[in-house]
Structure 1
């Protein structure tokens, strides 16, 4: 039985008399069986392509029936998948997913360096090295993509959260935007003051609790939010810090969710004021909210309704981007109404990312993230991170306790351009 080629064929000089120059022949090493005519490199490429096309076909069919995906996959099948992955990774304090991808990257890097070195020494051909490398990449990508869809990725095709939560999607009136702006900046100031009571914050704020306690608060908020439906249920793995947080900071990343291990990961070096929201967003991904705007909305709802004032403060601080959009609509000025303490945190956020992230890695990650989102049928790609502004406004319009201060016939749709004070993803 022929084997999958793990390395290119080796060039061996056949023994010849001293006078004539050696004649090189290329053949597979003795401990591996040659690839049969029915199992050629070309056929392996085609099989990987077919495997990938089948996965894309499943994704396309799922996109045609979001309500079916919501009912059968997101609220039923994925519920059991996430618990199974939690059962495996809960015994490890470090991220299994981070280790897995680190090993994959190291493997391909060392494999390429080793066999290119052998090719330059005449022990194999460069063309064979490149051919086998692309074969490995094709099979790795197609296999991981199929697993991605089955383990989590079909959540991209579920019902829009605006439908499942019944959010108001009409353009907000000017008086409604004014009331929303007041709700956000007052939430920032009040919860900062409540959290700062008894604390000695000389400059920026600091997380006034251990990470285990923060996770308990966020988990309780998830389970006490009925509008999340089945996603409110607990029993999921705890968030874990990225072992490569410094590298993630260079790329401008706040955190990741690893679908293959079900682990929400966060960059532990981000400013403390952002940590609760960052972790809540990854926990939203863990619960099946795949789109970035929807995960942002869920994190905002969870944080602003949490029992702890600092967690609420972190959630409302994310709403600073909504205040900036309201200002662009010409409704009022709200950014200047944010207190000195929160303003110090916002300045520290900007300063942190200015000093930490690097231009080219940040741009590379943005483009890869945009490509990843478009592959999963998120039309605007990376801009989806900032499409939560209308969702947050729709959430307030739906809220039974929301009351605009006055009536106005003006209709002002919320904009969705990226604000400058929001942190990288």
Structure 2
């Protein structure tokens, strides 16, 4: 009877947690003031200070050990399914309660903070004409940066720096924009190459944040135009901007305000890709008129990234992307991975 009661309590706590987190989406101002700009910055800085000095990913070690323990747990559970089932289910729900609570306390509450356009006092709607204006601005900036980094219009800009060098340079981008919003002040860095790059590549991921250790990770095999803005994207997650679209926007702003031309170019053509694709969906004629203005070398940079991912396409990536899309929707991102329009809305209203 006591074992049944413990199992019921564990299950009840699990569903109470889920209900509580779901209700938070109706109180974004409270989450913003108490957690995202209140408690969380101290948690994040403490984690970066405590683990940033370690040259390898502590979080990846934790992930690897956890996977081994889960496999062991499943194997032991199947040895005597009838007699051990209640005990194992109790362990399962107690573990889920602890993991979910830790995830939210260490980082996950940021999914329920105020939308970035409200925080920055920006509109979240835009016209096709406003979009076209910003696209032209981005084309001008991207072409100019391409000229400075690659004298041949038809060739891509070559990114030769190692990821380690980029990690050292990246925080400067946030130093140049912390006047926009105090929460963009970065501090100690904790950016690392993923030890799990092989599975990461086949799953189709460029990088990730470990919410329990505060370490930002990049796919160690990516070395193209995406790498600088990818690093800034994961750092944006460290600052508490959990939603993918908002982290993309902040990475673009930090990159375009960076002193280094390669960071500027990376962020500029990343933003251009979002905006030109949105213009294509909205007005094909305008898109076809503007597209020839973009240097061929910029499209070559885009192709390098596509070619990198093409070699890892397959069932693993498909399943991984579907799973991650469901995860985003469950964490207050109704659009899942299809969040292009909100990124473009932020860019258009920021630059118009």
With the length of structure 2 as denominator, give the TM-score of the two structures. 0.90
From 254, 270, 278, the counterpart of 1:325 = 278
Aligned residue runs from structure 1 range 92-131, under 5 A = 92-113=54-75, 116=78, 119=79, 125-128=80-83, 131=86
From 163, 170, 174, the counterpart of 1:218 = 170
Residue 224 (structure 1) shift: 1.8
Alpha-carbon distance between aligned partners in 1 of 2:189 and 2:82, rounded to the nearest angstrom = 45
Q: What is the number of equivalent residue pairs in this alignment?
A: 348
Please identify which structure carries the higher helix content: 2
Aligned residue runs from structure 1 range 39-188, under 5 A = 40=3, 42-113=4-75, 116=78, 119=79, 125-128=80-83, 131-174=86-129, 176-188=130-142
Alpha-carbon distance between aligned partners in 2 of 1:303 and 1:380, rounded to the nearest angstrom = 25
Alpha-carbon distance between aligned partners in 2 of 1:52 and 1:103, rounded to the nearest angstrom = 24
Point out where structure 2 has 5 or more consecutive residues left out of the alignment.
none
Residues 188/114 of structure 1: CA separation in 2 closer, same or farther (3 Å cut): same
- 1:222-259 superposed Cα distances (whole Å, 9 cap, x missing partner): 12214652222232332100111121110100101111
SS in 1 for 2:114: coil
Corresponding residue number in structure 1 for 2:309: 353
Contact 2:124 2:349 survives alignment (8 Å):
yes
- 1:104-149 superposed Cα distances (whole Å, 9 cap, x missing partner): 1111113333554xx3xxxxx3334555554433332221111111
Alpha-carbon distance between aligned partners in 1 of 2:137 and 2:168, rounded to the nearest angstrom = 26
Corresponding residue number in structure 1 for 2:350: 395
Corresponding residue number in structure 1 for 2:188: 236
Point out where structure 1 has 5 or more consecutive residues left out of the alignment.
1-36, 120-124, 398-425
What is the alpha-carbon root mean square deviation over aligned residues? 2.5
Corresponding residue number in structure 2 for 1:299: 251
SS in 1 for 2:225: helix
Residues 233/321 of structure 1: CA separation in 2 closer, same or farther (3 Å cut): closer
Q: Which of the pair has the greater relative contact order for Cα pairs under 8 Å at 6+ separation? A: 2
Aligned residue runs from structure 1 range 269-348, under 5 A = 269-319=221-271, 320-330=273-283, 331-333=286-288, 334-348=290-304
Question: Which of 374-383 and 263-272 deviates more?
Answer: 374-383
Residues 263/48 of structure 1: CA separation in 2 closer, same or farther (3 Å cut): same
SS in 1 for 2:208: strand
Alpha-carbon distance between aligned partners in 2 of 1:187 and 1:128, rounded to the nearest angstrom = 67
Q: Tell me whether 1:363 sits opposite 2:318 in the alignment.
A: yes
SS in 2 for 1:171: coil
Structure whose alpha-carbon radius of gyration is higher: 1
